Amino acid sequence: MSDKIKIEKKVLSANDRIAAEIRAKLNQHHIPSFNMVSSPGSGKTSLLEKTLAHFKDKYNIAVVAGDVQTENDANRLLKAGGQIIRPIVTNGMCHLDASMVEKSMAEFELDKIDLFVIENVGNLVCPSSYDLGEDLKVVLISTTEGDDKPLKYPGMFRRSSVMVINKTDLVEYCDFSIPQVIENAHQINGQLEVFQTSCRSGAGLENWYDWLEKLIQSKKAQ
Amino acid sequence: MSDKIKIEKKVLSANDRIAAEIRAKLNQHHIPSFNMVSSPGSGKTSLLEKTLAHFKDKYNIAVVAGDVQTENDANRLLKAGGQIIRPIVTNGMCHLDASMVEKSMAEFELDKIDLFVIENVGNLVCPSSYDLGEDLKVVLISTTEGDDKPLKYPGMFRRSSVMVINKTDLVEYCDFSIPQVIENAHQINGQLEVFQTSCRSGAGLENWYDWLEKLIQSKKAQ
Per-residue pLDDT at A1:
60
Residue range B48-67: mean pLDDT, rounded = 97
With a CB cutoff of 8 Å and minimum separation 6, the contacts of A6 are: none
Q: Which CATH class is domain B2-220?
A: alpha beta
B124–A40 C-beta distance less than 8 A: yes
Say if A195 is an interface residue toward chain B (CB within 8 Å).
Answer: no
The radius of gyration of chain A's CA atoms, rounded to the nearest angstrom, is 17
Question: Rounded to the nearest 5°, which phi and psi values hold at B112?
Answer: -105, 10
pLDDT exceeds cutoff 80 at B7: no
Query: CA of B214, closest CA in chain A: separation in Å?
Result: 31
Per-residue pLDDT at B57:
95
A144–B142 C-beta distance less than 8 A: yes
- What sign has the CA pseudo-torsion A52, A53, A55, A56? positive
Query: CA of B39, closest CA in chain A: separation in Å?
Result: 6
Chain A residues with CB inside 8 Å of B169's CB? 173
For A68, the closest of B121, B125, B145 (CB atoms) is B125
B40–A41 C-beta distance less than 8 A: no
For A149, the closest of B41, B125, B153 (CB atoms) is B41
Per-residue pLDDT at B107:
85
Say if B131 is an interface residue toward chain A (CB within 8 Å).
Answer: no
**Amino acid type, B110:** L
Per-residue pLDDT at B1:
60
Q: Which pLDDT tens digit goes with each residue over B199-220?
A: 999 999 999 999 999 999 999 9
Helix count and strand count (H, E) for chain B: 8, 7
Domain boundaries, chain B: 2-220
Per-residue pLDDT at B3:
74
Chain A residues 93-122 with CB within 8 Å of chain B: 93-94, 121-122
Per-residue pLDDT at A6:
79
Q: Which pLDDT tens digit goes with each residue over B76-125?
A: 999 999 989 999 999 999 999 999 999 999 989 999 999 999 999 999 99
Per-residue pLDDT at B182:
98
| For A70, nearest residue in chain B (alpha carbons) | B152
DSSP letters of B100-169?
Answer: HHHHHHTT--GGG-SEEEEE--S-SSGGGG---S-SEEEEEEETTS-TTHHHHSHHHHHH-SEEEEE-GG
pLDDT exceeds cutoff 80 at B188: yes
Residue A189 has, within 13 A of its CA and on its CB side, a CA count of 21
**Is there a contact between A38 and A50 (Cβ–Cβ < 8 Å)?**
no
Residue A16 burial (10 A CB sphere; 0-12, 13-18, 19+) = middle
How far apart are the C-alpha atoms of B180 and B149, rounded to whole Å? 11
Its pTM stands at 0.94
Query: CA of B7, closest CA in chain A: separation in Å?
Result: 6
Q: What is the pLDDT along chain A (222 residues), one digit of tens a residue?
A: 677 777 778 878 899 999 999 999 999 999 999 999 999 999 999 999 999 999 999 999 999 999 999 999 999 999 999 989 999 999 999 999 999 999 999 989 999 999 999 999 999 999 999 999 999 999 999 999 999 999 999 999 999 999 999 999 999 999 999 999 999 999 999 999 999 999 999 999 999 999 999 999 999 998
Residue range B124-140: mean pLDDT, rounded = 97
Question: Rounded to the nearest 5°, which phi and psi values hold at B46?
Answer: -60, -45
Per-residue pLDDT at B11:
78
Chain A residues 4-23 with CB within 8 Å of chain B: 4, 7, 10-11
The separation between CA B38 and the C-alpha centre of its own chain, rounded to angstroms, equals: 8
Per-residue pLDDT at A153:
96
Residue range B56-85: mean pLDDT, rounded = 95
Per-residue pLDDT at B216:
98
